[in-house]
A and B are shown apart, each in its own frame.
Chain A
């Protein structure tokens, strides 16, 4: 049968394993965190480019989607003055627009008008064309292009006119509406580097155009249209680097440029630009040191968090260890206590037993013997009783199950009783007393008495038998009653000041080999605090100890 070790066990091996395990976990997580952050930053590098792209071409999109259609608002009513205003605002607002060609054209079937392009009766004639640019010093420059304009040289207009005529010439066109894709195909002509746009006519106008073309007898009429060509220089688009931390360098490069020449960059990606910008692409580059900086930026807080978690785990480990130690000591104390207590009980019990045996075995008992045995039995029973009372009341106070039977006590009278009984009990103690109080103290007389008794007992016990001296001073200050017990005993080491009030603690010296269970001072402290007072100690080894009890005068609120 295995022998069960009932002693309190401590396993330091377990603690070390825990420590090792936590440390290993920490190292592994730091390693993974590093890998994940690196991956994260590299994915980000590839993904965020769309945002930079959107941001960068937002100006161009605004120009394309909002500004160009504004031409159509005028429904062909634009003339050179308005076109100038319009172009000026565009050139200044969108630096990537290099120059603007404007032609005020007429769609007509009137024969007397010089139609430079013509299909059926339907023809186009340029009233005037202008070119607008900004000079190098940002002055607006307008120049009239060859008057009466030879439209055939205007490739852009030619191509739009042709497209329109092809559309009009179809046998069945939807006469009620024109779809968005058709609008885009007919009235926009987008080539790399330029956008041509003709104001989108109303559906009824388009039907009239068709009639002009197919019906020779159609009412002679002419419609004004505005035609624009915007020349775009994509390199003038301002790159908006939203993520300078990710992308060290973003440039607009021609598509044909082979970037194999530029090998030193660590990470590289690109996006093609749309529509009229399609000759160019957006190129993103970053060097290794730049990206490492970014990785570290993300990695640092992760590591800090991991270290924190690690430290917390260590702290928890330490706390568990400390708790184990304290429990161990408590266990030790209680173990000692039980040993002491047994010892303490053993003496009176064996005395009683011997006395009993003696009485039993004696054939005759003399009066002196009877008196002696009686006294012994009585004495030892008292001892046991007081021992048990002490234990019991202490347990009660600890559990707060004792009642406070407060009353007003005349300290002088109370002290007189105590001193008298002390003088009877310890005739070899030289007791010096002084009581100077005006008011009565509010306290439980039984409890107060036991505090006095304990402190007097201690003073007596821990003194050289040749020099047993105790001074008790009872005074009243403004707020408190101060009761001082000053002896000339063995004194207490300063180190032990904190411990002496703990239960089951005994100062190790020659005086308490027996008859002490280490409860006395703990009991005093408990009771004093229970009654609203406090207890203090001052001592010097081999000189003496003084305990001070302080009770507030005004205790009615306790």
Chain B
């Protein structure tokens, strides 16, 4: 049954930019991001949705791009770590607090953690420490012991 079309015309918003491209329909969202769009800030840590290194925002919500297929962002808005910026176009408050608090060590989990934290603070700008802890359970970090990550998110609350 090879006569069926195996390509898909994908249209979506990527970091604010209208993006249209023809893709192999069986492509994962993570491959689309890293290989087709060349956005390498989104990482593959496990390929099973367990570590959160591949998180991006789709329609404002954090998702694991390793478990989504590219066709599933059709007609949607996607933001990757490269699209996370402050109001002035510089560093986002979360990026500033992650750096200042010492929440970055090897850094491989950092983009995913910032995406997950951004999704939380957009929805719940006054999130409590307990809420932050529960929201970030899907982001493994093997370096920091999480303490500085949590304080970075707490310090970013209410900042634009």
Are A and B co-members of a single complex?
no
